[in-house]
Structure 1
Amino acid sequence: MSLTNTKLLLLSSTILVLAGASADAQERQAYFGETHVHTGWSFDAYIFGNTKSTPADAYRYAKGEAIKHPLGYDIKIGTPLDWMGVTDHSEYVGTVSLANTPGSSISKLPIAKKLIVHNPADITRIYLWLGNTIVDKKPIAELISPEVANSVWKQNVDIANEANQPGKFTAFCSYEWTSTPNNRNMHRNVFFRDCGKVPAAPYSSIESSDPSDLWDWMDGQRKAGNELLAISHNANLSDGHMFPTDVDEKGRPIDAAWAASRDRNERLSEIKQIKGASETHPTLSPNDEFANFEILTYLLGDPAGRFPTISGSYIRQALKDGLSMMEARGFNPYKTGFVGGSDSHNTGVPYRQDNFYGGHVLNDGDIKQRMSGYVFAGLDVRLENPAGLTGVWAEENTRESLFDAMQRKETFATSGPHIRVRFFGGPNETSVVGKQDWVKSAYAGGVPMGGDLPPLGEAKTPSFVVWAVKDPTSGNLDRIQIVKGWTKHGQSFEKVFDVAWAGNRTPDKFSGVVPPIGSTVDISEATYTNTIGAVELKGEWTDPEFDPSLDAFYYLRTLEIPTPRWTTIQAKELGIAPPDNVPATVQERAWSSPIWYTPTQELRTAATKGTTVADLKQKGATVLDNAALTDLIVGKSSWVRNNVTGEVFSVAWTPSGQRLITNSNGAIPQPSEVGDVMHGGLMGAGTGYAIKDGAIVTTLGNAPYEATVYKLGDKYFAARSNEFGYANYEVVPTPKMLDPVDQPKAPF
């Protein structure tokens, strides 16, 4: 094992402000579990062919028992779980399954006749009928009546109580609130702390598809003594609606009350599941070499074939936007912890590359159909991937202890393997990683994942302890990284630091990036060997670029060595070539929940102020209308300086409505530089524009935004609508041509 050559110091146990860590906290263990699984009680799972299973079968599977896949073969988990929450859709939960179960209470109701499945045509009819009643907000009264909804929920609670074994296995009372406006995934999984303190029935999207209404209901439950939390999931398919920055689903401006409600109720976000990862996207993180991990682009309807909006759909960008909102508006709605889940509709869940059998029952459960490029609901099922897992650091394996850990966000997610990680942050004091009782010292002198750094006082620079141990049944570890995000004057930035790694690799002297570890994968045989990598990685790191006046977050990411992807393994099994639309190998990984840093008000006040729209208006600046904008830019080139980063670039505005960005040498930026310009520059590159309603309208990551231009004396300033009221761009005289080595660059 090698560590970064920066001496990494951390966490004195003498820090009085945090010296109260309890002995119980120091003895916390990692418990792995499932936050997101469906059984035959979810009406879509039943329609997909999962017609015989119940939540009881899901708990049996989690404990290590073999159960039947709906296609008839046995499925069994490789490593049993410590806990699970079955999250069947609350919308019409259990009604189709129980209507087709002779002797059940629902089967005796007159409406049950309309839910009986005799042939495939009935499946389609029932699916469309129930689905359309939800979309049209015209629910079937008989199926949401207290007699039905309450009785099914009671059965769910009873099954969880029967499966629960305190100290050995935890079964949560939980469900999914399934809001999908215009095919946008807005789903949340709701977990209760105590199955003895739950409502008569769950709140569903039939009652409201707006998250703020769910949070209001949750506040009411909490007042009634029913403690609960929500987990947002699968944000990558939310079309930009999971993490809004301007208005909510009702069109109301996002304010401090909205942010507080979300933070109070929605403590965690799902970072990985069968339908892809939601950490980040290569467009959002062009300088992150590992950003292209299980990226799933799922075409939407209305209009047909529409690509989903990227901005607002990934957690890392949401974390950065939250910092910007805190700086500009005084509140942060996106201080979320991380979990992993499955979203499997099979009852059983495939977590490993060598044990993947899909997640949508008959639609991806057969290997030949799955590997043929079969398209289910617009999705080539070869793009699916094994489920994520959630790790929780808790004192004991009980509902109360696990829930409390989730509430304080001391959680981490993995892409499937049982990788264990720890992450602590605190003032730069003394090293603890070499101590035998380093975990005790880390808790005593700092904060764990999910926490907030205290005011740093004279130390001024935070340091972090990182630790990861491999899953004994999976690949060795490649490296541990710390992902940092920060904000300044409405712009947000990120950087990935390699902190600990396997082998004798030497980081690049300029970038600090550690070279790839190599690969032992034999693609034709779909095998690998653990002859490279490490069993355990541990280290300490002090932020070398810390600015105490800027909001920031940090989280740990650890990667395994390359191993064969499930598509490569199953291609070998079938004797065919691996598909070319997905990678042949994968680097499994784990992510800790973040640790946040918030400057004191004194530090904010003392910091250099950015120019805001309000400042310009106060000084008498005038906003340019359509005619003035047309005269200023159309058919011309503008040299623009980003006053936050100092970068200078030229934007050519063609009469046909296209723009081209060049740097001050006249060169078109390379792809990585385009990414920098897109995030730090005025417009982006290679994108159309239009002048409308006194603004330059364009897009970023398929999300529209506007730039408004102000004239103050003989100077022009521009404010982007996604930079929270700051006017960060200034039109400047043509600069002299610079040598390449002198060319200004973005700071990341």
Structure 2
Amino acid sequence: MDRKLKYLAAALFAAGPLSLTAPLALAQQKNPERNVYYGETHVHTSWSFDAFAFGDTVTGPETFYQYSLGKPVAHPGGYQVKITKPLDWGAVTEHAEYMGMIQEAMDPGSPLRKNSPVVAEAFKAGVRADPLLAFKLLSLTIAKGETIKQLANPVVAAPVWKRIVDIADKYYQPGTFTTFAAYEWTATPNSKNLHRNIFFRDSTKVPQVPFTPLDSTDPSALWNWMDQQRAAGNELLAISHNANLSDGLMFPTEVDHTGRPIDRAWAEARLRNEPLTEMKQVKGQSETTPGLSPNDEFANYEVFVWHLLGRKGPPPREYGSYVRQAYKDGVAMEQARGFNPFKFGVVGGSDSHVSVVPYRQKNFFGVHGTVDDSPQKRIDGATVLGLNSLWVTPAGLSAVWAEENTREAIFDAMKRKETYSTSGVRVAVRFFGGWSLDAGMFKQKDWVKSAYARGVPMGADLPAKNARAPTFAVWATKDPDSGNLDRVQIVKGWSMHGQSFEKVYDVAWAGARKPDPATGKVPPVGSTVDLARATYTNTIGAVELKAVWTDPEFDPSLDAFYYTRVLEIPTPRWSTMQAVKLGRVPPSGPGFSAIIQERAWSSPIWYTPSAEARKTARPGVTVADLKKQGSLALSDAQLKELLVGKTVKVRNAVTGERFEILHGTTGRRLITTVNGRPAALTGAGEMMHGGDQDYEIRDGRLRTDINGTEFDVAVYKLGDKYLAARSNEFGYANYEVEPLKE
């Protein structure tokens, strides 16, 4: 530990052991067909310790609410800013751990100064010496489960939490602007993101102090506390966020980060307490990646690769970190185990650490206090904790369909998952599914009323049917202040025998483009972006798109989900706009480009087969079946004899795909052919199946990885046949293995 760090450690811990003039959003009457309301679920002010360390030393919760209402407010960089359009609702979500403690340490009359003056002075001295270093030190103690007990004392913490709740009440204007009592639970074990934002339905029914990572960093413990709160009459919900930075821990399928099995009780606790996840925020999107979705041409959008707290190491794992894969794993678990822990909806947020949040490319003024408060700093790539400001994107927005703009109506919309996320734009999106929706429904003036009566909205479950395919109605209109619409897509995922699949369908699009007869994909909309001027024109695209679509490949025996994704035409990214203003070449790099396509993502609609429909599914082979027939897994020696230095043929019994795989003698494996063609020509070997990768034979398993996530393969001999089971396919033995004759 260097001298500066030793000084701060001593200073912080010596005293205690570790253990309204602007226009408002329009009020709307109660509407049984529901209105869309745009809001913020995730923002910090100087009352969060890290925001203060990043240079936001002046703003507070009131600043955010004033800004959200459209009032000009001061940016920590020393200039005034104003939101482009007022919000309908929002909440400040300060980090629960050490919430407001800097302000308490500075206030001579605070409970902290009265109860623990030595701790307050040490805390104040550490912050003044180096706020960022002090933040790192505190974060390290939290990650290790240690506590500065005096700062977490309810006598000290409760008054700060009460002020946050009181400020939310002060700005709550039912029918016009809605606020919530909320906070962030910031569990970061080993620098891996497991964060959740906690929302309370009624500010008069909240605990004395929040449950924090100082109490436990285990989500199961948080859910248990939430159950206790609900039993006491305090209705609340959690929103997980930044799954993309969880290093595979946000959506586990076998065991959680403590080693606890993912069983029905775990799934039910998550579903009961955590109906939503954050799809988009300033640190990227959590939908999917090109590695997880190689056939999705729009997957490479704001893919953010960074370790929390600047930790070094390989890129975070993708499996278990992205929403679409979690949905796919969820339906596979439903089929194999009878429960699905990942039936959550989506919202958007900012995670801005300055209370004046940029939601627009053209109005981007940074998100980390004074670290990135000028165009020069941002374009020069100013960093904080290893985070390059060029990677950061404007905030996402949460949209809810609710009867009115009140706490009760908006909370209930979040609870039932009738929500969607946008990249920051205000695209309006409706999505319904049902068994009797028809192509003529949009001709009806009251088509939305009919859709509710005859189907279910985003976030809901289709009632089970055994025969015909479901039909989906999707409608979208452009943001008046942004680009026209390119297309509307429906993303489908389904599962068979522990394997999950996805397909993206273009269902409505602008112009006279024709889908490719072979792939069904619609050609690009084109681009009007002028990179030299960082401008675009709305001479292409559509103002409104709508379609009624029937799944052409529906199998009533298989679990499935559907969600819609709406894309705008290409527009310049903020970094392009600001580079041009500075007379520089627009930058681009991993995770961001000079041109983007803003978008919206709906919550899914799920289909779960009836017991009768499941009986019609083609049976698969399970490990349990093999064991009943007397088959045993090969030992290490037998696996080496079968594989090492040899090429084997592998057939996927679910898809029919055939591979030839060479397992070298130096611990590297290579897929050489796919369906009889050289893998290098198909791209499938690398993109879909891991390509040239390390492997190891240990404990009766061949161990390798895909997209940074390890899995193992057990091989069983049954008579003269070899059958293999992957550990991430929920107990199915889906692969036939045949050694090539030499």
1:594 partnered with 2:604: yes
Choose from 678, 694, 705 the match for 2:711: 705
1:35 partnered with 2:41: yes
Aligned-partner SS, 2:78: coil
Aligned to 2:170: 162
**Structure 2 CA distance for partners of 1:158 and 1:429, relative to 1, 3 Å:** closer
Measure how far apart 1:252 and its partner are: 1.3
Check the 8 A contact 1:182/1:301 in 2, yes or no.
Answer: no
Aligned to 2:556: 548
Which amino acid is 1:538 matched to? K
**Structure 2 CA distance for partners of 1:301 and 1:76, relative to 1, 3 Å:** closer
Measure how far apart 1:100 and its partner are: 2.1
Aligned-partner SS, 1:326: helix
Of 599-608 and 33-42, deviating more is 599-608
Of 261-270 and 104-113, deviating more is 104-113
Unaligned runs of at least 5 residues, structure 2:
1-28
Q: Which has the higher contact order (CA 8 A, sep 6+)?
A: 1
Unaligned runs of at least 5 residues, structure 1:
1-22, 679-683, 736-748
Counterpart CA distance in 2 for 1:47 and 1:585 is 32
Choose from 466, 470, 484 the match for 2:478: 470
Check the 8 A contact 1:659/1:688 in 2, yes or no.
Answer: yes
* 1:306-385 → structure 2 map (5 Å cutoff): 306-385=314-393
Aligned to 2:449: 440
**Structure 2 CA distance for partners of 1:385 and 1:651, relative to 1, 3 Å:** same
**Structure 2 CA distance for partners of 1:221 and 1:433, relative to 1, 3 Å:** same
* 1:277-676 → structure 2 map (5 Å cutoff): 277-299=285-307, 304-428=312-436, 430-431=438-439, 432-458=441-467, 460-581=468-589, 582-661=592-671, 662-670=673-681, 672-674=683-685
**Structure 2 CA distance for partners of 1:300 and 1:65, relative to 1, 3 Å:** closer
Which amino acid is 1:391 matched to? A
Counterpart CA distance in 2 for 1:242 and 1:88 is 21
Counterpart CA distance in 1 for 2:463 and 2:127 is 62
Aligned-partner SS, 1:190: strand
1:188 partnered with 2:224: no
Counterpart CA distance in 2 for 1:538 and 1:101 is 57
Which amino acid is 2:298 matched to? F
Counterpart CA distance in 2 for 1:159 and 1:664 is 63
1:54 partnered with 2:44: no
Counterpart CA distance in 1 for 2:443 and 2:695 is 56
Which amino acid is 2:445 matched to? Q
Counterpart CA distance in 1 for 2:132 and 2:603 is 41
**Structure 2 CA distance for partners of 1:334 and 1:368, relative to 1, 3 Å:** same
**Structure 2 CA distance for partners of 1:302 and 1:125, relative to 1, 3 Å:** closer
In the alignment of these two chains, the number of paired residues is 707
Counterpart CA distance in 1 for 2:726 and 2:88 is 48
TM-score by length of 1: 0.92
Counterpart CA distance in 2 for 1:422 and 1:267 is 19
Choose from 74, 77, 81 the match for 1:75: 81
Aligned to 1:744: none
Counterpart CA distance in 2 for 1:292 and 1:593 is 20
Counterpart CA distance in 2 for 1:514 and 1:126 is 52
**Structure 2 CA distance for partners of 1:639 and 1:129, relative to 1, 3 Å:** closer
Check the 8 A contact 2:145/2:217 in 1, yes or no.
Answer: no
Aligned to 1:745: none
Which amino acid is 1:534 matched to? A
TM-score by length of 2: 0.93
**Structure 2 CA distance for partners of 1:170 and 1:664, relative to 1, 3 Å:** closer
Counterpart CA distance in 2 for 1:122 and 1:377 is 14
Q: Deviations over 1:146-193 (max 9, x none)?
A: 211111111111100001000000010000000011110110000000
Counterpart CA distance in 1 for 2:559 and 2:692 is 31
Aligned to 2:8: none
Measure how far apart 1:107 and its partner are: 4.5
Check the 8 A contact 2:332/2:497 in 1, yes or no.
Answer: yes
Check the 8 A contact 1:388/1:415 in 2, yes or no.
Answer: yes
Q: Deviations over 1:266-293 (max 9, x none)?
A: 0000000000000001100000000000
Which amino acid is 1:98 matched to? E
- Seq. identity, %: 57
Measure how far apart 1:59 and its partner are: 0.7
1:144 partnered with 2:144: no
Aligned to 1:10: none
Counterpart CA distance in 1 for 2:444 and 2:254 is 47
Aligned to 2:236: 228
**Structure 2 CA distance for partners of 1:588 and 1:666, relative to 1, 3 Å:** closer
